Each structure stands twice: as C-alpha cells, then as structure tokens.
Amino acid sequence: MILEVKSLSKAFGGLVAINNLDLGVIEGEIVGLIGPNGSGKTTLFNLIGGVITPDSGEIKFNDREITGFKPHIVCQSGIARTFQLTKPFAQMTALQNVMIGRMYGSEPVRSMRQAEEECEEILEFIGLGGRSLSVAATFGLVDRKRLEIARALATKPKLLLLDETMAGLNPTEMEDALQLVKAIGDSGTTLIVVEHVMKAILDISSRLVVLNYGVKIAEGKPQEVVQDKKVIEAYLGEQ
Amino acid sequence: MGKRKEAKLASNWKQLSASGGIIGLLVLVPLITTRTDVITWFYLTLLYIALSQSWNLIGGYAGQLNLGHAAFFGAGALAARYIWLHFGLPLPVAILGGGLAATIFAMIIGLPAFRLKGIYFVIGTLVLAEILRLVFYTILPEADVMPMKLLGTYSLIPRYYLSLLIAVLTVVIIYWISRSRLGLGLMSIREDEDAAEASGVDTQRYKLLAFTISTFLAGLAGGIYAYYSAAFRAGGLFEPVWTFDAVIIVFVGGVGTIVGPIIGSVFFVLLKQILSLYLPGGIHVAVFGVLFIIVVLFLPGGLIELMTKFRKRTSVGEHLH
Amino acid sequence: MIFILVAQTLVNGIQIGAMYGLIAVGLSLTFGVMKILNVAHGEFLMVGGYIAFWLFTLYDIDPLWGLPLIAIALFLLGAAFYQLLFSGLTKFHEEIKMKNTLLVAFGLFLIFPQIARWLWTADERAITPMYSGESFPILGIQCGYVPLCGLVMAVVVILGLHLLLTKTYFGKSVRGTTENWKSAKLMGINVERTYLITFALGAALAGLAGVLVGMTQTVTPDMGMPWTIKALIVLVLAGIGSVGGAFFAGIILGVVESVSAIFMGPYTVALGMGIFLLILMFRPQGLFGKA
C-alpha cells in the first residue's frame, strides 16, 4: 500500500468535511475519486498534501506516518498535487516554473544547468516544448494546466494527486489530457484523480472511490460503482 | 554549443565588462574631481543603491513587504557608530557589527512572524521600526557628534570608497542570488506561496533566509552612514523615510530586477537635489509619495518596464523599415 | 491611598484605552472586510484633529459639538480616497490586492504629513475649550471632564457601530461581503458600495479619535504613524478579524500601559512591542480571535 488513510476526520466550524474516512491506495493504481460538490474531495487532497491538519486519524505514505506534515515535506517525501484553479508562478517563465519542482522536489537537483536541461525535457514531454521561455502569465487555461502537471512531475513523485484536470477543456483537449494521464500512470506513478467528467474518469481509473458528505459511500471497479444505487442517489440528490 | 547558449554567454560577457567598466570609473571618481558636492552626490547614490538593493531582496524577489526597513538600517548605523566611535574598534569590525546588530533584530521579528500569515510580517516590521525610533529618541535624545579631533581630519574620500565597496558587494550578492536556486525559490514564494510549498519549497525557512541577508546588508548600509555622518540623533536613524526611500527607489526603478534599484537610486538622488531647490520643506517627500502611488497603480515594472516598452516600440519601428 | 492610586491608574488606562479602541476598530473594520491594511489610518486621525482644531480656533465651535461634522468630513474624505486609489485594486485576487493596497496606503502615509506640515506648520496644536483642564471627583478618583466625555463618546460610537453592523441592511451586506464577496455579489449585494462605505466609516472613526487626541494631547503633522502603530498592536492583540474585540483590546492595552508606566516610565513605549511579540509567539489568534 503506497497510501493509507485511516479514520480521517476534519470539520470546519460546525461543518464536517471528512468523516472517519478509510482509504487505501496500491502502488501503480489509478484511483478515481468522485462525488457530488462539497463531498470533501479537495479537502482530502488538502489533508494528504499537508495544507490542513486533520482533527483525528492518520495518513501513511509508504508505511511512514505523514499526518500533519508541512506541504513541502509531503512533497519531498514523494507526493505531488495539482490545484483545481491552477496556481502558476505567473511572472516566471514556464521553464522556471518546472525548475522549482525539479530543484525542490523529492529528488532535488542543485545545479541550475542540470535542472534546466531536465526541465526542458519535461516541458517537451508535456507538449510545451516551444514555450519554455514564455512567462506563465501569458498562458491560456490548457497550457496552464499542462504547466501545473509538468511542475508536479518535476518533483519526481511516487504519488500524484490530480484535482479536476479536465474542467474547462473541450473534447480534443480532454482526449490529450487523458493520454497524458495514462502515460504518467504507465511510467509507474500512482495516481489519485478527482474528476467531475464521468466519461474521463471511467476511462482511466482502475478503481473508483465515491465520497458524499465526507464519507466513502462506494468503492470498486468503475463499471460497478457507477451502477451502485447509493452513488446514483448521491448525484441525483445534487440535482 | 547551442545558439541560445552562445548568445547567453556573449551577453554575460557584455554585462560583466560593462559592470567592470562602471566600477572602474567609479573607483577613479575621487581622483578625477575634488568637488565635495560631486563626491557627496556619488556617495549618496551608492548608499541608496546598497539600501534599496537590500530591500529588493526581501521585497522585490521574495515578495515580502518589509515596511520597517529603517529598523535594520538604523540598528546597523547605531551599532556601527558605537563600535567605531565610542568603543574605538577598527572600522571593518564596526561595519560588520552593524550588519550583525541588524540581523539580531531581524530574528526577533522574523522568527515569530514568518510562521504566520504574511500580514503579521508587515505589521511586525512596521511596529519594530516605530518602537525603535521612539525608544532611541527617548534614551539617546542628544545628538551623537563626531569629536572635534575627528572633524578636523574628516575626509570624504574613505567614506566614498566604503560606500562604493558596500554598494558593489550588495549588488553582487543580490545578483548572484537572483541567478541561483535560492533566487528561484524566493521568486516562487513571491508568486504563489502555497504552490511553492506544494512544490517542495520550505517557504518559512527561505523567507527567513532572505530576510536575514536583506537586513544584514541594510545594516552594512547603516554602517556607511554612521561613518559618514558628522552628527545625528539616534532616533532619526529609524525614521520611516529610510524605509520609504528604499521602497520607492526599488519600485520606481523596477522591483525584482537588478538594474532597477540602481537606476532608481540615480534618478532618486538627482530628483531629490532638484526638487529640494524649488520646493519648500519636505514637500519633495510628498512628490515622491505621489510618484510612488502612480507607479504602483499604473507602472508596476517601474522605469525598467518603461525602458523595455520603449525599446520594443523602437525595434518594431526598425522592423517596419 | 493605594486604592486611590490603583483606581486612578485604571481609570486613566480605560480612558486612553477607549481612544485606542476607537481607532483600532476603524482599522479592523477596513482590514476585516476588504483585506486592506490601511497604514495611513493614523493620517485620517490627524486630519480629524486638525479640522477640530480649526473649527474651534476660527469659528469657536466646541469640539464635542463638532464631532458629527468631523465624522462627516472624514467620511467623505475617506470615500474620496477609496474611490480614487483603492477601488481599482479590489478586483485583483487577494494576495495582489493586499500587497498593492498596502503600498498605496504607504504612499499616502508619506504624503499626508508633508501636506499637513506645509498647510499648518509643525507647531503643536491643542484643542482647549474652557472645560479642558477640569476634573471632578467620583468616589475619590479625579476624572477629567474631557477624557470622560471621550470615553462616553467612544462607547456610544462603538455601540452605534455594533447596531449598524448587526441590525441594518448595510450591516448584513458588510458581513456577507466579508465572508465571501463572490456569493454576496450573486445575492445582489452591491459589493463595491459596501467597500466604499466601510472604508469611509473607518476613516470617520479615525477622525473622531483624532478629535479626542487633540483634546487630551496635541495635534502635529507627524502624529499619524505612532497612532497607526498603536492601532496595529491593538489589532493583533484583539485578533485580526475581531472588530468588536478591537475595542476591548484597546481598553486592555490602555490599562496595561497605564499600570506599567508606573514601573517602566519612559520605556513604556517598548511595552507595545513586547505585547505584540508575545501574542505572535504564544497566541497568534489574539485574545478574541478564533484559533
């Protein structure tokens, strides 16, 4: 098990965001995390990523406890994440953006030259090869998402958390994104992917986990989970 | 070697030789002229280059608004003055002591403040500068005057060379940092602290590091002033104007660039001379305030941005021909 | 005898603390609602003091009766500056907005004292109506007439503000905007106008405090920054975000200072720094803030 979440709970004021959650992720999986709005998906990412600390429960990564660790330590341990609303380093070039990941991530490189070379390759891989010296602020939505993933990949993660990568993409872009995610999975990185676009998540996930009101209501093979009555009710309730 | 790399190396050589040339000329200044007003003008510009670059590191590159920079300049100046003048130790010891004194105060604010949200750092530095100002006006109300013996043999030349040395040192340090992994990390903190953390940057540690270096350099700049000034009141070393001068120079020149504060300092000292001739009292400060606000609202890149835009426009013109 | 001394110190502390609270509340309101840390807040206090001085000196208007005039004048002044300088910045996302508004306010902080010095000279001005020095004993404690009025005024204003923020539509729009300006907008709240009025209110509160300071101390062009600093210390002591708490924290600070002055004398100024650091290190959420 690369990631183990046990009895995790988090409340904000009176609102319970995550309720006694157990989750296990096996190395090499692509886990799809779905659920209606407000079900706690991003909160879970924030908890794993160390942005917020849980009220109770524990998070273990490769059998090491990482509960409450600061985000940069979590990253250095080998967990990377993207954000729902992309957070690029706007006034820095694409290359510099990715270099941050490479130079501060889980296998940090100290030489600027080496980082530059390797990050050019990462940008090439992700499809931003020609724009490495462009300032991130000039990027449109799709390229910003690509950049965010490139930066996360540069940290050499064992586990990558993708938060709603498909949001706002047209069908062609979505297809490209899917291919990219599959390629990342194929290279050995474990993935937890949060998505609202059903078609996409069914396509790439080896396993689906469904949250509602911070509670896991279903888990298993995508095709089965999607037919689960509880899941359907949860989504209909959202209507 | 790739074309891009070739071009980069060539421009590096150009930069290096240009800087070397300028420094060479500056070294010659006291040998070329004996006019004290000219040497003083150069001295002031160099002092402001050092002070503004030191602020540029924490404010421009790391993006942390230190509105109490005067606290560190003042701590450096006061410590250096006492070590040199009152305890009789050699000048280098005094200058370094000034830098150290500044960083001690930096730790006092930085350690608690950087654990919390950014606003606490802003408030903390503001409060620190003001408290020090009040405290020192209270406990050292009389002016600190150079003894007659010293005033008799006072020469501007060593003051000038000290300011040149520290200005060059400061610019070199900031330049080196800006091109290093540290500099990249600081900029990422400026751009988006949460994303930087998520990418593995220990934001708290790096902010503290930038702050330490920044305040140390500000303390050195204070030492320049302590060595130069015939008389001052201790509290006056902590007046907000020292912070403001540094901040406005950085912004008007071009925040987060190396050349910006240098151009800004030249521009500032020149403008100050001109304005104080025609305007009463401290009105030139108000003029700078207005200029500053205009820059913040309409030209955040400062003079550098203006120059880049101008250069682009003229080069486009060339293309059309 | 000791009782009298203690009680006197307490009363003095409460009176000056009320002034601290008044100016801190204005700052807290502006920051809490709009995330604008107005480091030029003390400048509005200074302007208020000068207006009161000139009204009194030129037109014989008693400063206490002039309070509503000051409040209106500063409200308009605050609104003008907000509209001119800050309104364009509020559309940016939080971190950029905070930085740029801070810088603009910093610019103002340098402009105001120079203009004031140019217009009114650096001479210290005190507002001294007939009853200035008078005091009367309550239970053996000497209560200055002016400080007492100041205390009453501050309490009345704060209560009024509290009612405004809890019982009126404006108050609701302020709270809604503070929580989440995007949803507030969707619900039909005019966010821009709420910001404008809030900022203007903050300036008005500072102006009122300025009148008090002018009556109990003096008015000078450079008085703004020390008072802004005081307000900031109170803000942190109360807990950033606690507007009501700011008033009480002001009083607490006033009392603590008053008591410490007995032991610390002229070094009492350092007390503020000490308190600030203690809060930062051990209770960053302040006395009344949430953890």
CATH number of the CATH domain containing A215: 3.40.50.300
Helices (H) and strands (E) in chain B, counts: 14, 2
Supply the ipTM of this predicted assembly.
0.93
A10 within a domain of the structure (yes/no):
yes
Q: Is the pLDDT of residue C187 over 50?
A: yes
By the CB < 8 Å criterion, does A152 face chain B? yes
Contacts of B194 in chain A (CB under 8 A): 51, 71, 83, 87
A141 within a domain of the structure (yes/no):
yes
Q: Measured between CB atoms, which of B123, B241, B289 is closest to C236?
A: B123
Q: Is A73 in the same domain as A183? A: yes
By the CB < 8 Å criterion, does C288 face chain B? no
The pTM of the full predicted model, rounded to 2 decimals, is 0.92
Q: Is the pLDDT of residue C290 over 80?
A: no
The CA distance from A106 to A78, in Å, is: 5
User: What is the predicted pLDDT for the residue at C135?
Assistant: 77
Query: What's the structural domain count of chain A?
Result: 2
A60 within a domain of the structure (yes/no):
yes
| Type of residue found at A210 | V
Q: What is the pLDDT along chain A (239 residues), one digit of tens a residue?
A: 999 999 999 998 888 999 999 999 999 999 999 988 888 899 999 999 999 999 999 999 999 999 999 999 999 999 999 999 999 999 999 999 999 999 999 999 999 999 999 999 999 999 898 899 999 999 999 999 999 999 999 999 999 999 999 888 999 999 999 999 999 999 999 999 998 888 888 889 999 999 999 999 999 999 888 888 888 888 776 55
Tell me the two tokens of residue C221: 């062009």
* Cβ partners under 8 Å of residue B112, min gap 6: B120, B124, C277, C280, C281
A83 within a domain of the structure (yes/no):
no
A106 within a domain of the structure (yes/no):
yes
The residue range of the domain holding A113 is 88-156
Burial class of residue B24 (count of CB atoms within 10 Å of its CB; 0-12, 13-18, 19+): exposed
The CA distance from A161 to A189, in Å, is: 10
The CA distance from C86 to B86, in Å, is: 48
Percent above pLDDT 70 for chain C: 99
B2 within a domain of the structure (yes/no):
no
| Type of residue found at B18 | A
Q: Is A227 in the same domain as A173? A: yes
pLDDT in tens, B257-283: 999 999 999 999 999 888 888 877 678
The CA distance from B198 to A83, in Å, is: 10
pLDDT in tens, C62-82: 888 889 999 999 999 999 999
Q: Is A120 in the same domain as A210? A: no
Q: Is the pLDDT of residue C137 over 80?
A: no
Using an 8 Å CB-CB cutoff, list residues of chain B that contact chain C: 63, 65, 67, 108, 112-113, 115-116, 118-120, 122-124, 126-128, 130-131, 134-135, 138-139, 192-193, 240-241, 244, 247, 251, 280-283, 285-286, 288-290, 292-293, 296-297
Helix, strand, or coil here: A220?
Answer: strand
The CA distance from A25 to A3, in Å, is: 5
| Interchain CB distance below 8 Å, B188 and A152 | no
B311 within a domain of the structure (yes/no):
no
Residue B242: CB atoms within 10 A of its CB come to: 26
HEC profile of C221-248? CCCHHHHHHHHHHHHHHHCCCCHHHHHH
Q: Is A108 in the same domain as A215? A: no
Q: Is the pLDDT of residue B318 over 50?
A: no
Residue B167: CA atoms inside 13 Å, Cβ hemisphere, count? 26
Tell me the two tokens of residue A203: 């396509």
| Interchain CB distance below 8 Å, B122 and C37 | yes
Element (H, E) at A3: strand A3-12
Domains of chain C: 2-282 (1.10.3470)
Chain B CA closest to residue C278: B112
Element (H, E) at C152: helix C145-167
Determine which of A174-178, B74-78, C3-7 has the lowest per-residue pLDDT on average.
C3-7
| Interchain CB distance below 8 Å, B185 and A103 | yes
B317 within a domain of the structure (yes/no):
no
CB B120 within 8 A of CB C284: yes
pLDDT in tens, B90-138: 999 999 999 999 999 999 999 999 999 889 999 999 999 999 999 999 8
Task: Give me the count of residues in chain B.
Answer: 321
CA distance B269 to chain C (A): 18
All partners of chain A with 3 or more CB pairs under 8 angstroms = B
Contacts of B256 in chain C (CB under 8 A): none
Percent above pLDDT 90 for chain B: 68
CB B249 within 8 A of CB B264: yes
Residue C174: CB atoms within 10 A of its CB come to: 26
Query: What's the structural domain count of chain B?
Result: 1
The CA distance from B123 to B164, in Å, is: 33
B306 within a domain of the structure (yes/no):
no
The residue range of the domain holding B180 is 36-252
B190: left (phi over 0), alpha (psi -120 to 50) or beta: alpha
pLDDT in tens, C7-61: 888 888 998 899 999 999 999 999 988 889 999 999 999 999 999 999 988 888 8
| Interchain CB distance below 8 Å, B289 and C114 | yes
Tell me the two tokens of residue B116: 């919390």
CA angle A207, A88, C184 (to 5 degrees): 85
pLDDT in tens, B187-234: 999 999 999 999 999 999 999 999 999 999 999 999 999 999 999 999
